[in-house]
Amino acid sequence: AGMWLVIRLRDLWLRLFDRVVERFSPQRAERWRAPLRDLVEGFARIESARTIALVVGLSVGQWLAIAASWWFGLAGVWPSAGFAAAAFAASVVALSSIVPLVPGGLGVVQGAAILALSMFGLPAEPSLALAIVIHAVQAGVVLVLGAIALASEGISLGSLASMRRSD
């Protein structure tokens, strides 16, 4: 329902944003206006309630799958851990990637996992072991899927590197 309201009332939200930002931070208003307008216009492409429901359902399914992977991993290092601990750890790790401090979140992901799981009483050592394994598996899946996508499009790593150098 919230997404539908953003889409249907996008002009209202953009005007409201303009008023708030102009009042509290006029020097940043222009810099923030274009990215927000692009975001809202991107949402506007999703017109039907059915598509919104499908997108939200897929997102919930993806988050459940991520939490389940943490839960299955936790069972290996801490059998009495509940699903709540796994879901919380997955959420904290996801939030830790908002501020990219190092490439791939190396160290940040592990620290976030240790912090999150310590709140449920899990010692640091098994938390670190689990975070390393899950991070490696997730990176591996992304690399394999990326390689499949590149191969299916007939793109080589060399051509990507040359495109990067030409920029």
Average confidence (pLDDT) over 3-27: 82
User: Which pLDDT band holds residue 152 (cuts at 50, 70, 90)?
Assistant: very high
46: which DSSP letter? -
User: From CA 125, how far away is CA 156, in angstroms rounded?
Assistant: 40
User: From CA 25, how far away is CA 29, in angstroms rounded?
Assistant: 6
User: From CA 3, how far away is CA 87, in angstroms rounded?
Assistant: 23
Indicate the average pLDDT of the chain.
Answer: 88
Q: Which helix (H) or strand (E) holds 34?
A: helix 26-44
pLDDT of residue 1: 62
- pLDDT tens string 108-119: 999 999 999 999
Name which residue leads in pLDDT, 40 or 138: 138
pLDDT of residue 29: 79
